[in-house]
Structure 1
Amino acid sequence: MTDKNESIPLKAVIVGYDGVGKTSLILTYLKGQFPSDEVYIPLVTDAATLHHCGHKGRQISLSIWDTGSGIDYTEHRHQSYKHAHLCMLLFDVLCDSDIRFELTVSQWLKDIRLFSNDVPIIFVATRADLRECSEQVGIKVLTSEQCSDMALKHGAVKYMEVSALRNEGVAELFSEKMATGNDIDIKCVVVGNDGAGKTCALITLTTDFQLDWGPELYVPYGFLIMHNFKKRGELDNTPLCVEFWDTKGLEEYSRLRPLGYPGSHVFLLFFDITDSRESFEEMFSFWWSEIRRFSSDVPIILVGSKIDLRYNGLATISTVEGEAMAKKIGAAKYMEISSLLDKGLTELFEEVASIGYHYKRKKTVRKTKTKCNVL
């Protein structure tokens, strides 16, 4: 776990069309008042602003990236998405049609997801103060319900409203950003023979995608040796993000697959409960040996998949045998799941988060204790 005395870097990228109030919002936050007497010259990407603040007992170093929205700035803006912890999508409450609102949001989401497909996004409605005078001056504005529904529809982690002019909601917004982006990252590498159900389990666990799973529905990753999935959650009220590294199980990838092992905090070792005895014994003779050759002490969770087939009498590996194999390889846990029935996946994620988190914390403490000061 990060030392509370150490400043945690947090990168927040702010996007939206020119004139929506991105820069006014940032300057209001930093200076405590609306910059009415300043003339701002827009930059392609302004990342010069750093702000140190506290959140839940931790020091946060907040880097705010103010971006340009013009076509000429597209390439530079896309570069700013790299390594972002969260994005803020700003839109003006002034809007003359629902279609235009939907189009605006969709265009910016496409822009963000093209280069950062899993960063959390906060929807922010600016100039909320204009709602009070909209009827008198005859202008159409988006309602809070419309904006909130749009955020929910597109999977935003939060919807908020601000008025930079009145300095309303600004401080709360940036506090929310810190809470959203300050996740503890856990790396989980998923290994096992091809056909063991690794990818089906990860898709079911990390998305809302549900199908009547079958071999004909699996699309291999082609030239990719591994593919990443992410899922966010909490452990003891601490936000965390588990990144699952899905690997190819074929023996021909044995030289390339371990390249993804460094920095891992937990392994998931999958086997199919309908496997042959020979294949099941490879959990020890092949997979345990490979993991320990490159990661000597990272905890392993042994996972028996496709337990729905046990009800059909097709299982060849019993629960007792799975537990015995887990003991043989020194696994931290043995679990059984069914992606088809979505059974056991939530519990599996909780174990991955807990075991990975405690290993990461132990590893951090160990590194701290081994520091040597030369006098």
Structure 2
Amino acid sequence: MRSIKCVVVGDGAVGKTCLLISYTTNQFPQDYVPTVFDNYSANLMVDDERVTLNLWDTAGQEEYDRLRPLSYQQTEIFIICFSLVEPTSFANVKNKWIPEIKHHSPKNVLILLVGTKLDLRDDPHVLDQLEEYGQSPISFEQGRKLANEVGCINYMECSAASQQGVSEIFEYAIKAVLHPPTEERKVNQAANMKQHTPLPAQPVQRKVKKSKKCTIL
């Protein structure tokens, strides 16, 4: 059985842990949960191949900068998250996360860029707050352009709150590892990606093994 290690990184409070909880439980945590996600392992069937998906959460705050890379060993795909309504987190993709991953990982490691909090991009209250600081939400085109610039294999967007696009992200990540992108890793939309079939057949009943307790660094 093929085992895949996927590590999720990004600034603090952009929704990394919520994304993982939403995917693994089909529920959205109502309260902020700063990196208290158990390591998650699920058995899935992808393209007639049995796969064990191992998901790792990380803390994005500066105080963990020296410890966080310890979790990067043997990672096959990174998911860099930024909030679509937090421009600073978008800028840090290029300024912090890409350099950190490239410094601690093989040059051919796969990186998927994900914009979170899609449900807030058109929220009037959020738009008013951003406008007060002369800012605006990150558009899909901006995200796709950045993904191309920094060599990510794709750019995708999601909302952990509504679960829009959540499962598609991990389906894409798994298939990217099994069938690595070619042609200079051009960024393509994931709409045409075939869905994986979990074991057992119903997505909400994945076979799960959790690690012991857990602030994941």
Q: TM-score, normalised by structure 2?
A: 0.73
The 3 A distance-change label for structure 1 pair 96 and 115 is closer
Aligned mate of 2:11, from 8, 13, 17:
17
- The amino acid of 2:161's aligned partner reads L
Deviation at 1:132, TM superposition (A): 2.3
**In structure 2, what is the equivalent of residue 55 of structure 1?**
46
Deviation for aligned residue 1:94: 1.1
- How many aligned positions are there? 177
Distance 2:109 2:115 in 1: 19
The 3 A distance-change label for structure 1 pair 30 and 96 is closer
Q: Cα distance, 1:48 vs. partner?
A: 2.1
Structure 1 residue 112: Cα displacement: 0.4
CA shift for structure 1 position 34 = 1.2
Instruction: In structure 2, give the amino acid aligned to 1:17.
Output: D
In 1: Cα distance, 2:72 partner to 2:126 partner: 40
Runs (4 or more) in structure 1 with deviation over 6 Å come to none
Query: Who is 2:57 aligned against?
Result: 66
Q: Is 1:28–2:28 an aligned residue pair?
A: no
The counterpart of 1:161, out of the listed 150, 153, 157, is 157
Question: Which residue pairs with 2:174 in the alignment?
Answer: 178
Q: Secondary structure at the match of 2:78?
A: strand
Opposite residue 139 of structure 2, the aligned amino acid is: T
Deviation at 1:76, TM superposition (A): 2.5
Counterpart amino acid of residue 50 in structure 2? Q
**CA 1:136–1:181 in 2, change beyond 3 Å: closer, same or farther?**
closer
The higher radius of gyration belongs to 1
What is the Cα deviation at residue 101 of structure 1? Answer: 3.3
Residues of 2 paired with 1:131 and 1:72: CA distance?
Answer: 29
Deviations, residues 230-286 of structure 1 (Å, cap 9, x unaligned)? x9xxxxxxxxxxxxxxxxxxxxxxxxxxxxxxxxxxxxxxxxxxxxxxxxxxxxxxx
Q: Does 1:8 align with 2:34?
A: no
Question: Quick one: higher RCO (CA 8 Å, sep 6+), 1 or 2?
Answer: 2
Equivalent residue number for residue 102 of structure 1: 91
Question: Who is 1:129 aligned against?
Answer: 119
> Structure 1 residue 128: deviation in Å?
0.8
Q: Which residue of structure 1 aligns with residue 73 of structure 2?
A: 82
Shift of the alpha carbon at 1:183? Answer: 4.8
Q: Which amino acid aligns with 1:34?
A: F
In 2: Cα distance, 1:8 partner to 1:207 partner: 25
2:178 partner letter: N
Distance 1:107 1:17 in 2: 9
Contact 2:13 2:34 in 1 (8 A): no
The AA in structure 2 aligned to 1:101 is F
Residue 115 of structure 1 is matched in structure 2 by 104
Counterpart residue identity of residue 102, structure 1: A
Aligned residues of 2:11 and 2:92 also touching (Cα < 8 A): no
Q: Is the 8 A contact 2:85 2:137 kept in 1?
A: yes
**Distance in 1 of aligned mates of 2:39 and 2:86:** 31
Q: Secondary structure at the match of 1:114?
A: helix
CA shift at 1:166, angstroms? Answer: 0.3
Q: Mark the runs of 5 or more structure 1 residues left unpaired by the alignment.
A: 1-6, 185-205, 209-230, 232-375
Question: Do the aligned partners of residues 166 and 106 (structure 1) sit closer, same or farther apart at CA in structure 2, a change above 3 Å counting?
Answer: same
Alignment partner of 1:83: what SS?
coil
5+ residue gaps, structure 2, are: 131-135, 186-217
- Report deviation, 1:51: 1.4
Partner of 2:200: none
Q: Following TM superposition, by how much is the alpha carbon of 1:80 offset from its aligned partner in structure 2, in angstroms?
A: 1.2
Q: Secondary structure at the match of 1:20?
A: coil
Q: 1:39 to 1:137 in 2, by over 3 A?
A: closer
After superposition, the Cα gap between the structure-2 partners of 1:41 and 1:142, relative to the gap in structure 1 and judged at 3 Å, is closer
Asked if the contact 1:47–1:63 (Cα under 8 Å) also holds between the matched residues in 2, the reply is no
User: Matched residues in 2 for 1:151 and 1:168: separation?
Assistant: 20
Given that 2:80 and 2:93 are in contact with CA atoms closer than 8 Å, whether structure 1 keeps it comes out as no
**2:147 is aligned with 1:151:** yes
What percentage of residue pairs aligned between the two structures are identical? 27
Deviates more, 1:135-144 or 1:15-24: 135-144
